[in-house]
């Protein structure tokens, strides 16, 4: 499927609006869209809505042998996927440039910044460590995938709890969540990406570009920062040239935004923890808005079962098998290891011209002789089944046009 | 002239036969094609079977290997089925990674093995947590003329019955497995599942054992797997036009009868091999 | 064998038009199982995949963790054939319809939830259909009781799991996928139970669509 291309007048409209410091959705230049974070029932599942962009992140863990170069550290694995749902341009199985770029940026932001303590993931040094796998799915693409993906990933990692293990010598017992409470990962800091879109060779900038703005921008600057004002990674793409003051200005804006977003994530985590402790309902089912006109919810309801038994019995009795077809056709065994049943359509490997009854009689006669059996007398084909023990090759059907008297030697299925 | 009509209007051609309650190849609506079974033809495999239902030809080979059991099931071995539809069997399959039909068939066979409990996985375990048998069942279609799933299940069951595994013991001192190729045991088969496929034409007529042409023109396909106690192991109807409860019941009754036919065939063939020995 | 029947349907809810990019989208929640569906179409189709007299329907199921496996392909085939039977695809020849399903959380009866989300997304996209369909999962536990809409715990303890797709016109069975072994009587009972349960779900579809367009009509 192809994405609809951007028309020239739309492009000019957007660029003109940027020059006048106006945005299509009414935001200011430094405003972020509304961020909504919801967690699921299982630990480590998180959906982030950045305006209309929606991203799902899931964290899972597994015990694996560690890498040879780092026997005492756990493994972090990131996988970002652009679901075909997100945009008609995303196709399944295609490694597009955007996908590679987002994956690399996410890895740099979360793995190289060492925000997660991998040493604590080691169980038995050199033999078994935890592998933490983060799968990020992009569900709706309305711009600024990088920011939303980083928020989703770090929120999911903070929400995740891994099972507790007990080590006795070389044996490892993994406890289920019912036996012992799972423990959270140790996270040092939360790096969050902030994206800046540049227009007109760096003259104008916008924070958190939406999809239309991303299409007409000249270049993108992504700064990953945590709330302690430490820069974790900077990436500039698009080939625009920026001045030192511009980059410093962006980093100042980024630090303000990052502290706001980090507070939002922590608040969401606290709400979720409180809901779980008090036994209230949590998860995606609860977070569905009830007051919207497009949403509807129905409570648990029993299914009416008044005459189900009778209906079922009636159907069975009505369609009882006819008793006169009790006799099951008996199979024919022309040779040890081969059998045939049924008189329906015979196969076309040999062009049979004789009647079926003749063949069957032949088979019954020759069953006891053992060595060579001719299944059909037709001139066209030469159906021969040889005794497998005599180590002669088997040949099921011939196809020769001329009549053949002696069996031809041919290798069969191997 | 009939050939011309068949190419131009295949659906009308088939409909005109169905009106007379028969099919273009002369069968009744509820008649299966001639089923031929041949076992033990592959010497390099631990068990093998070749099945022909009409023209559809399917061969199954079983290889047993030793492996460590998975962490969550330390007392069971496992069975890994794989259905392959090479470009040899029909022009509709292209070379390359397995297409959807092959993958769906593999999943179907795996589900039948699990649902019908054809082999108790615990029987495949040699030493708890350390060693178990893994049975790789490779099913390959050599000629595709409709009704692939039935043939796969018959081939699989016959090959499992034919398979012989060498005896394996664990040497207590060296902690290694010792394989004794002289002593061979057959697998213990719990249940004998058999599949019967049906196709629905025009939402009303149900025919049994469709050929490839009939499959292409049908509005729905269905496969019923029963075992020897007349219990259903699987009712596989991947979409298509809807069927009422009564029609389903008719199909199930036919499937039960087919089960008896096929069990007799397999038993007789197995006996003939044993008698020779 | 006397079977005690006391099945319930978990609380379910759905939201339409959840995503802005797809032509139709819906999220369906059954208990804790949550599925998101998006539909694109009718759109341009690749020449290799085009069919001259009908629309080409493609179904993509995305698991949450890892790459799609053989199990997803088998499910895709089930859902695709069900949708093809319900859609009037001859109205859009040489075009493509793509249905994408993403599982958000799996707490049992996943295939049924896929079907329900798919149907709601197709309604939201406004594609012409000859009938609606809904999915119901029944589990038969070791005592022979029939449980509808089982959770993951109930599914693990059951000895058979049956999923049916029921159509809205005549309440007949469009699709069936089963696991485990069961008797013929149990099968017919499950079908009858599913038909009864489907009434609830079809009424729910009706209510959601009525509510959605209540301000317009």
Q: Residue A90: give its domain's CATH number.
A: 3.30.230.70
- Mean pLDDT, residues A306-329: 63
Stretch among A170-174, B157-161, C205-209 having the lowest mean pLDDT: A170-174
Query: What's the confidence (pLDDT) of residue C9?
Result: 84
- Mean pLDDT, residues B59-80: 86
Which residues of B are less than 8 Å from A315 in CB distance? 245-246, 249
Enter the ipTM. 0.90
Touching B: which chains, 3+ CB pairs < 8 A? A, C
Q: What is the CATH number of the domain that holds B147?
A: 3.30.230.70
Residues paired with A374 in a beta bridge: A384
B100-116 vs B148-162: helix crossing angle, rounded to 10 = 50
Measured between CB atoms, does C130 come within 8 Å of chain B? no
Q: Is residue B201 part of a domain?
A: no
**Confidence class of residue A355 from pLDDT cuts 50, 70 and 90?**
very low
Q: Beta strands C96-105 and C56-62: pairing type?
A: parallel
- Mean pLDDT, residues A197-220: 89
What does the longest C-alpha to C-alpha distance in chain A come to?
Answer: 101
Res A111 pLDDT > 90: no
Q: Is residue C7 part of a domain?
A: no
Measured between CB atoms, does B234 come within 8 Å of chain C? yes
Helix and strand element counts for chain A (H, E): 8, 20
Count of structural domains, chain B: 1
Res A163 pLDDT > 80: yes
Cβ-defined contact of B107 to C167 (cutoff 8 Å): no
Distance from CA of C66 to the nearest CA of A (A): 8
Query: What's the confidence (pLDDT) of residue B86?
Result: 93
**Which B-chain residues 61-90 have CB contacts (< 8 A) with chain A?**
71
The two three-digit tokens of residue B239, written as one number: 């979409």
Cβ-defined contact of A328 to B272 (cutoff 8 Å): no
Vertex C106: Cα angle to C102 and C111 (nearest 5): 70
Q: Is residue B104 part of a domain?
A: yes
Touching A: which chains, 3+ CB pairs < 8 A? B, C
Measured between CB atoms, does C116 come within 8 Å of chain A? no
- Mean pLDDT, residues A82-92: 88
Measured between CB atoms, does C216 come within 8 Å of chain A? no
Q: Is residue A28 part of a domain?
A: yes
Instruction: Please give the DSSP secondary-structure letter assigned to residue A112.
Output: T
**Containing domain of residue B121, as a range?**
26-191+262-276
Which residues of A are less than 8 Å from C40 in CB distance? 1, 84, 88
CB contact set of A219 (below 8 Å; sequence gap of 6+): A197, A198, A202, A236, A237, A238, A239, A240
The more confidently predicted of residues A289 and B211 is: B211
Q: Is residue C5 part of a domain?
A: no
Asked if C112 and C163 count as a contact pair (C-beta separation under 8 A), the reply is yes
CB contact set of B170 (below 8 Å; sequence gap of 6+): B126, B127, B130, B131, B176, B177, B178
Count of structural domains, chain A: 1
Q: Is residue A33 part of a domain?
A: yes
Cα B168 to Cα B162: distance, rounded to the nearest angstrom: 19
- Mean pLDDT, residues A252-279: 91
Cα A354 to Cα A365: distance, rounded to the nearest angstrom: 17
Q: Is residue C49 part of a domain?
A: yes
CB contact set of A284 (below 8 Å; sequence gap of 6+): A38, A40, A41, A47, C29, C32, C34, C104, C105
Cβ-defined contact of B37 to A388 (cutoff 8 Å): no
Q: What is the CATH number of the domain that holds C112?
A: 3.30.230.70
B-C C-beta contacts closer than 8 Å: 110
Cα A378 to Cα A405: distance, rounded to the nearest angstrom: 11
Q: Is residue C32 part of a domain?
A: yes
* Residue of B187, B204, B198 whose CA lies nearest to B226: B198
Instruction: Please give the DSSP secondary-structure letter assigned to residue C49.
Output: G
- B258 phi and psi angles, rounded to 5 deg: -65, -35
- B115 phi and psi angles, rounded to 5 deg: -70, -35
Which residues of B are less than 8 Å from A340 in CB distance? 34-37, 265
What does the longest C-alpha to C-alpha distance in chain B come to?
Answer: 79
Report the first-to-last Cα separation within chain A, whole angstroms.
45
Q: Is residue C2 part of a domain?
A: no
What does the mean pLDDT of chain B come to? 87
- Mean pLDDT, residues B61-82: 86
Stretch among A62-71, B68-77, C11-20 having the lowest mean pLDDT: B68-77
Which residues of B are less than 8 Å from A395 in CB distance? none
Q: Is residue C144 part of a domain?
A: yes
Tell me the per-residue pLDDT of B89-110, one tens digit each, with 9 for 90 and over.
998 898 999 888 999 999 999 9
Distance from CA of C130 to the nearest CA of A (A): 23
Classify residue C51 as exposed, middle or buried by CB count within 10 Å of its CB (0-12, 13-18, 19+): middle
Measured between CB atoms, does B273 come within 8 Å of chain A? yes
Torsional class of A6: left (φ above 0), alpha (ψ -120 to 50), beta (otherwise): beta
Res A394 pLDDT > 50: no
**Confidence class of residue A383 from pLDDT cuts 50, 70 and 90?**
very low
Asked if B122 and B69 count as a contact pair (C-beta separation under 8 A), the reply is no
pTM above 0.90, yes or no: no
Asked if B27 and A344 count as a contact pair (C-beta separation under 8 A), the reply is yes
Q: What is the pLDDT along chain C (217 residues), one digit of tens a residue?
A: 444 456 788 888 899 999 999 999 999 998 889 999 999 989 988 898 889 999 999 999 989 888 888 999 999 999 999 999 999 999 999 999 999 999 999 988 999 999 999 999 999 999 999 999 999 999 998 888 888 889 899 898 898 999 999 999 989 999 999 998 888 888 888 888 888 889 989 999 999 999 988 888 6
Stretch among A364-368, B138-142, C72-76 having the lowest mean pLDDT: A364-368
Count of structural domains, chain C: 1
In B, minimum Cα distance to C191 occurs at B245
Torsional class of A145: left (φ above 0), alpha (ψ -120 to 50), beta (otherwise): alpha
CB contact set of A222 (below 8 Å; sequence gap of 6+): A105, A146, A193, A194, A195, A196, A233, A234, A235, A236, A237
**Containing domain of residue A199, as a range?**
21-302
CB contact set of A295 (below 8 Å; sequence gap of 6+): A288, A289, C13, C14, C15, C16
Stretch among A238-242, A344-348, B159-163, B272-276 having the lowest mean pLDDT: A344-348
Secondary structure (3-state) at B22: strand
Cα A219 to Cα A237: distance, rounded to the nearest angstrom: 6
Q: How far is CA B24 from the centre of its chain?
A: 26
Res A86 pLDDT > 70: yes
Cβ-defined contact of A41 to C215 (cutoff 8 Å): no
Q: Is residue A285 part of a domain?
A: yes
Which residues of B are less than 8 Å from C181 in CB distance? 115-117, 191, 227, 231-233
- A18 phi and psi angles, rounded to 5 deg: -65, -40
The more confidently predicted of residues A412 and A104 is: A104
- Mean pLDDT, residues A1-20: 88
Res B66 pLDDT > 90: no
Least CB–CB distance from B238: residue in C162, C175, C191: C175
Q: Is residue A368 part of a domain?
A: no
Cα B224 to Cα B194: distance, rounded to the nearest angstrom: 8
Q: Is residue A288 part of a domain?
A: yes
Percent of chain B with pLDDT over 70: 99
């Amino acid at each position: 499927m192809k994405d609809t291309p951007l028309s020239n007048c739309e492009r000019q409209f957007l660029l003109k609006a940027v020059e006048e410091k106006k945005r299509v959705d009414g935001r200011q230049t430094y405003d972020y869209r509304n961020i909504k974070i919801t967690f699921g029932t299982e630990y480590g599942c998180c959906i982030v809505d950045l305006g209309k962009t929606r991203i799902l992140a899931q964290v899972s863990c597994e015990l694996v042998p560690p890498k040879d170069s780092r026997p005492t550290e756990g493994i972090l694995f990131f996988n970002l996927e652009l679901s075909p749902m997100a945009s008609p341009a995303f196709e399944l199985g295609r490694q597009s440039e955007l996908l590679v770029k987002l994956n690399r940026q996410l890895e740099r932001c979360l793995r190289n910044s060492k925000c997660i303590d991998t040493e604590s993931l080691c169980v038995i040094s050199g033999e078994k460590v935890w592998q933490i796998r983060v799968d990020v799915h992009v569900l709706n693409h309305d711009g600024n995938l990088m920011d939303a993906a980083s928020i989703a990933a770090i929120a999911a990692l903070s929400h995740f709890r891994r099972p507790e293990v007990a080590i006795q010598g070389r044996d490892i017992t993994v406890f289920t969540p019912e036996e012992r409470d799972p423990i959270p990962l140790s996270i040092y800091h939360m790096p969050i990406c902030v994206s800046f879109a540049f227009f007109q060779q760096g003259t104008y900038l916008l924070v958190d570009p939406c999809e239309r703005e991303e299409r007409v921008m000249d270049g993108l600057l992504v700064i990953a920062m945590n709330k302690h004002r430490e820069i974790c990674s900077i990436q500039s793409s698009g080939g625009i040239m920026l001045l030192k003051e511009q980059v410093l200005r962006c980093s100042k804006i980024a630090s303000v935004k990052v502290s706001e977003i980090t507070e939002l994530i922590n608040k969401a985590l606290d709400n979720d923890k409180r809901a779980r402790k008090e036994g209230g309902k949590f998860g995606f089912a609860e977070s569905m808005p009830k007051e919207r006109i497009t949403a509807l919810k129905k409570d648990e309801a029993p299914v009416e079962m008044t005459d189900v038994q009778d209906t079922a019995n009636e159907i069975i009795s009505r369609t009882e098998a006819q008793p006169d077809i009790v006799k099951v056709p008996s199979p024919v065994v022309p040779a040890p290891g081969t059998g045939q049943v049924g008189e329906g359509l015979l196969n076309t490997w040999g062009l049979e011209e004789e009647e079926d009854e003749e063949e069957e009689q032949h088979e019954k006669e020759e069953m006891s002789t053992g060595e060579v059996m001719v299944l059909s007398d037709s001139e066209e084909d030469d159906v021969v089944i040889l005794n497998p023990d005599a180590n002669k090759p088997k040949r099921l059907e011939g196809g020769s046009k001329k009549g053949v008297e002696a069996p031809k030697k041919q290798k069969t299925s191997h | 002239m009939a050939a011309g009509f068949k190419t131009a209007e295949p659906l009308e051609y088939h409909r005109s036969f169905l009106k007379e309650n028969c099919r273009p190849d002369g069968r009744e609506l509820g008649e299966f094609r001639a089923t031929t079974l041949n076992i033990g033809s592959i010497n390099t495999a631990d068990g093998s079977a070749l099945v022909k239902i009409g023209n559809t030809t399917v061969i199954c080979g079983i290889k047993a290997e030793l492996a460590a059991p998975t962490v969550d099931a330390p007392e069971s071995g496992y069975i890994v089925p794989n259905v392959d539809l090479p470009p040899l069997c029909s022009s509709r399959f292209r070379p390359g990674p397995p297409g959807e039909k092959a993958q769906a068939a593999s999943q179907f066979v795996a589900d039948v093995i699990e649902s019908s409990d054809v082999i108790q996985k615990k029987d495949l375990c040699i030493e708890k947590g350390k060693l178990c048998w893994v049975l790789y069942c490779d099913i390959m279609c050599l000629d595709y003329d409709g009704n692939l799933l039935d043939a796969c299940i018959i081939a699989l069951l016959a090959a499992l019955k034919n398979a012989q595994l060498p005896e394996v013991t664990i040497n207590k001192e060296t902690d290694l497995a010792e394989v004794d190729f002289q002593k061979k045991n057959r697998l213990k088969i719990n249940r004998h599942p058999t599949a019967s496929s049906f196709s629905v034409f025009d939402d009303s007529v149900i025919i049994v054992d469709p050929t490839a042409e009939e499959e292409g023109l049908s509005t729905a396909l269905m496969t019923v797997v029963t075992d020897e106690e007349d219990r259903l192991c699987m009712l596989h109807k991947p979409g298509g036009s809807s069927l009422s409860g009564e029609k389903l019941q008719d199909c199930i009754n036919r499937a039960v009868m087919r089960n008896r036919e096929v069990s007799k065939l397999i038993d007789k063939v197995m006996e003939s091999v044993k008698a020779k020995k | 064998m006397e079977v005690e029947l006391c099945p319930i349907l978990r609380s379910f809810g759905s939201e339409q038009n959840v995503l802005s990019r797809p032509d139709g989208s819906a999220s369906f929640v059954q208990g804790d199982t949550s599925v998101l569906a998006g539909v694109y179409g009718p759109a341009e189709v690749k020449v290799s995949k085009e069919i001259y007299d009908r629309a080409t329907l493609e179904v993509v199921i995305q698991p949450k963790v890892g790459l799609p496996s053989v199990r997803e392909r088998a499910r895709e085939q089930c859902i695709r054939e069900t949708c093809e039977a319900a859609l009037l695809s001859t109205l859009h020849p040489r075009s493509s319809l793509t249905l994408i399903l993403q599982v958000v959380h799996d707490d049992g009866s996943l295939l049924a939830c896929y079907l329900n989300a798919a149907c709601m997304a197709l309604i939201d996209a406004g594609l012409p259909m000859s009938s609606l369909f809904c999915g119901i999962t029944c589990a038969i536990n070791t005592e022979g009781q029939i449980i509808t809409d089982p959770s993951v715990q109930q599914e693990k303890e059951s000895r058979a799991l049956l999923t049916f797709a029921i159509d809205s016109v005549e309440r007949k069975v469009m699709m069936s996928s089963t696991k485990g072994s069961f008797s013929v009587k149990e099968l017919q009972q499950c079908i009858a139970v599913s038909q009864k349960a489907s009434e609830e779900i079809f009424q729910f579809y009706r209510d959601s669509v009525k509510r959605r367009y209540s301000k317009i009509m």
